[in-house]
Amino acid sequence: MCLLFIPGLGSADDEITGLPDRSGDNFTDIKPDSIIVMMNPDTPVKLMSGSYAVKDGNKINESVKAGQNSENLIREENIIRDYSDAGIPGLKVVKIPDNSSLDETLEVYSNNPEVLYAEPNYIYYAHDIPDDPDFGQLWGLQNDGQYVYGASGTPGADIDALNAWNITTGSDEVVIAVIDTGVLLTHPDLKDNIWENPGEVIDGIDNDNNGYIDDIHGWDFYSDDNDPTDLNGHGSHCAGIIAGVGNNSIGITGVMWDAKIMPLRFLGADGSGSTADAIDAIIYARNNGADIISNSWGGGGYSVALEDAIRDFAGPAICSAGNKGYNTDVIPSYPGSYSLDNIITVAATDSSDLRASFSNYGAKSVDVGAPGVNIYSTVTGNSYTYKRGTSMSGPYVSGLAGLILSLNSTLSATEVKKLIIDNVDPLASLSSTTVSGGRINAFKTLSAVPVPEKLPKAGFTADVTLGENPLSVSFTDLSTGDPDGWLWDFGDNTTSDERDPVKVFNKTGVYSVSLTVMNSAGTDNITKTDYINVTGKNAEIPYLKMPAGEIEPAGSGIFTVPAGNITDAVSLSFEIVYDSSVISVNNITLNTTVSDADLTVNITEGKAVAWFKSATPFTSGNETELFCFNISAAGEYGSNTTLQCLNATYTDNSFSTHNITSADGIISIIVKGDFNNNGVVDIGDVSKVAYMVAGKIPEDMTADFNGDGRVDIGDASKIAWYFVGKTAEL
């Protein structure tokens, strides 16, 4: 198996004495948690404990940075792998300590005299070679010097596609308009990458209102119909170079394995077409979502209208340089010679990295070179053939532009152009005949693409979703897009910001769980409805809350008793103890939520005992109003008593008995309308209400005797009548 390094970014700051230079193009991916160390085989002495002793520990101590010590370097738990038993004494894979960085650890080991060398634990990758059987014919993608169509090449005279494909093989979200003789829509190496208009169906109607009826796969501007099928072979050949389906065990592969080709036919079967039809095709591409237009044609004169149409297309416009062998700085060839920021004009090179003799060139007007001689690709008749020309070179660049946009769709046409030009392989044959002086290199170019952080996509799983209470659930984040923040909602008013939390559900029920993930690009959320099912009895403690309230002397009131966490109760009993000189408990009644239960109450002086049996097991949720007390006042103004609940228990339907906790309540005796708190309603209270009505003092809504939501003259009159004995109650 062939292997390669995948480059990353480095700087002079990364250089460490005695270490490989990681500042250039060969900087590779590195495991962040370990390094490889070759210690002097004569230095470590393996002890029975499995740790290591060092001949001169002081030397290591002197080289260790602050915050580390020699034991951190040589303790057994830091040694991930020891190759001594494999016949390489002294060679070890060592864990990077938690309080150290990769470079710090490398420096510590490298500066130690007992260490022969220390180096990063590099990551390697297999070449991503497609299984397309004719891949060996595609020297432009991989050139091993093989014979292709009777000619041998120079190894490495290619666009370095194999390395590039380890970065990306494309995306079906990138749409490339092939403006040409059409495309064979049914070719087995093309059909899966043909664009389909998402707003159109074949029904004789212009569904998407773009001016074209049933344009499901583009448009034929030459014949003005909805069938852009290739009748020449040229457009299909270009399409195959750009995005012949890769790794499908058929024929060839394109520069992009995955993309969407938008077929726009404006050239007839003889390979010719008009400026007007070309303009229509470019406008269609612009209006229907194409990211790139590929133009392997030319020869007409300068056209302002065509130039404007290309200028108005926002994405890269790839143009072949032409096949006359002309210097287009002197003899322009359009559209490639338009001086537009979004045009990339392409010359042809052969398998020995020479500019093809037929290729136009221009130090100012031709940007780059690309393979264009003996290029094998798809044609009509579901077949393949070799072609040559800058018409073949342009699609290589179209494919490369598509790979760039599959990594970063936010890049402008000028940014894509600069990336391609700045990362060519310099060639003597192109040094003075193109802007860049070189042939495109896909790997170098993709390695230089600034990749934005992707919007995260939320996903998760749980190790268990059904079980008895209490249920411990380990959640695992499966989100993609490198989130750096997590917010879980477990459906029971609890949350977590851990990545992989462990949650204990201690109450029976069915819970919906949601996860929101975030990074600098944005957020995403997923909710799994009714995801966790907790069965069995509630682990929360059942309870009763005794009421608190006020009663007027000689008055009475109904007071409710909230209950909670009582599960499947078939019987329940409790006692209430109170001061009978202050209040009397007249009765205890069940609330309507347990209407099918039989309640028995035994009330004696200062004590009430109640119990019930339910035909249907009763479950009390949080704060369910279970009982009602009918209480009368018996004492004097200002007195109060505690309602104390004792011996509260319930039995569930499995005949298990559970204790019920209780919270005491206090019943107080008050006098309604006694605003000055002297135990009677007198002229002072009448005056206070009058002052409230006049706005002299703040309103006290207990003075709203007529219940109209405000303290007004009616309330003042009522308390005055009460004071003089004209009414019996307030």
Which residues participate in catalysis according to the annotation? 180, 234, 391
* Contacts of residue 61, Cβ cutoff 8 Å, sequence gap at least 6: 69, 70
Region of 102 on the Ramachandran plot (φ > 0 left; ψ -120 to 50 alpha; else beta): alpha
Q: What would the 3-class secondary structure string for 356-383 be?
A: CCCCCECCCCCCEEEECCCEEEEECCCE
CA distance 89 to 560: 81
Specify whether the CB–CB gap between 703 and 673 falls below 8 A: yes
What's the one-letter identity of residue 127? H
Element (H, E) at 431: none
What's the one-letter identity of residue 457? K
What's the one-letter identity of residue 253? T
CA distance 55 to 42: 9
Region of 482 on the Ramachandran plot (φ > 0 left; ψ -120 to 50 alpha; else beta): left
CA atoms within 13 A on the CB side of 502: 3
Q: What share of the chain is helix, strand, coil (3-state, %, to 5)?
A: 20, 35, 50
What's the one-letter identity of residue 205? I
DSSP state of 187: -
Q: What are phi and psi of 312, to 5 degrees?
A: -75, -10
> Coil, helix or strand for 110?
helix
Q: What would the 3-class secondary structure string for 379-408 be?
A: ECCCEEEEECCHHHHHHHHHHHHHHHHHHC
Element (H, E) at 280: helix 275-287
Q: Which of 601, 581, 558, 582 has its CA nearest to residue 670?
A: 582
Specify whether the CB–CB gap between 62 and 37 falls below 8 A: no
CA distance 534 to 527: 18
Q: What would the 3-class secondary structure string for 593-609 be?
A: HHCCEEEEEEEECCEEE
CA distance 96 to 64: 13
DSSP state of 215: -
How far is C-alpha 85 from the geometric centre of its chain's CA atoms? 44
What b/e readout covers 483-492, taking b as 16+ CB neighbours within 10 angstroms? beebebbbbb
Q: Order the strands of the 502-505 sheet from edge to edge.
A: 460-462, 471-477, 502-505
Strands 79-82, 466-468: pairing is unpaired
* Contacts of residue 143, Cβ cutoff 8 Å, sequence gap at least 6: 153, 154, 155, 156, 157, 158, 351
Element (H, E) at 572: strand 566-577
A 10 A CB-CB count for 381 gives: 11
